[in-house]
Structure 1
Amino acid sequence: MRQSHTILTIQTPGAGLHDFTARVVDWCAGQDVTDGLLTLFCRHTSASLLIQENAAPAARRDVERYFARIAPESRDYEHDDEGADDMPAHLRTALTSVQLSVPIIGGSLALGTWQGIYLFEHRRRPHRREIVLHLIGE
Structure 2
Amino acid sequence: MSDAFTTRMLNVTTGSRERVVDLTGECEDFLRDAAAGRDGLLNIFVPHATAGLAIIETGAGSDEDLLAALHSLLPADDRWQHRHGSPGHGRDHVLPGLVPPYATLPVIGGRLELGTWQSVCLVDTNKDNRERQVRLSFLG
Q: Which residue of 1 aligns with 2:115?
A: 112
TM-score by length of 1: 0.92
Q: Which residue of 1 aligns with 2:88?
A: 85
Q: Which residue of 1 aligns with 2:8?
A: 6
Identical-residue share of aligned pairs (%):
26
Among candidates 124, 128, 131, match of residue 121 of structure 1:
124
Alignment gaps of 5+ in structure 2: none
- Superposed displacement of residue 126, structure 1: 5.3
- Counterpart residue type for residue 7 of structure 2: H
Instruction: State yes or no: 1:52 paired with 2:64.
Output: no
- Superposed displacement of residue 7, structure 1: 0.7
Larger strand share, 1 or 2: 1
Aligned partners of 1:120, 1:85: CA distance in 2, in Å? 17
Coordinate RMSD, CA, aligned:
1.4
| Deviation per residue, 1:54-111 (Å, 9 max, x gap) | 341x211111101101110111222111121311111122111001011100110001
- Superposed displacement of residue 117, structure 1: 0.7
Alignment gaps of 5+ in structure 1: none
TM-score by length of 2: 0.90
- SS of corresponding position for 2:41: strand
Moved over 3 A (4+): none
- Superposed displacement of residue 33, structure 1: 4.5
Q: Which residue of 2 aligns with 1:38?
A: 42
Task: Report how many residues are paired.
Answer: 136
- SS of corresponding position for 1:91: helix
| Deviation per residue, 1:22-66 (Å, 9 max, x gap) | 01110110112510001011000111111111341x211111101
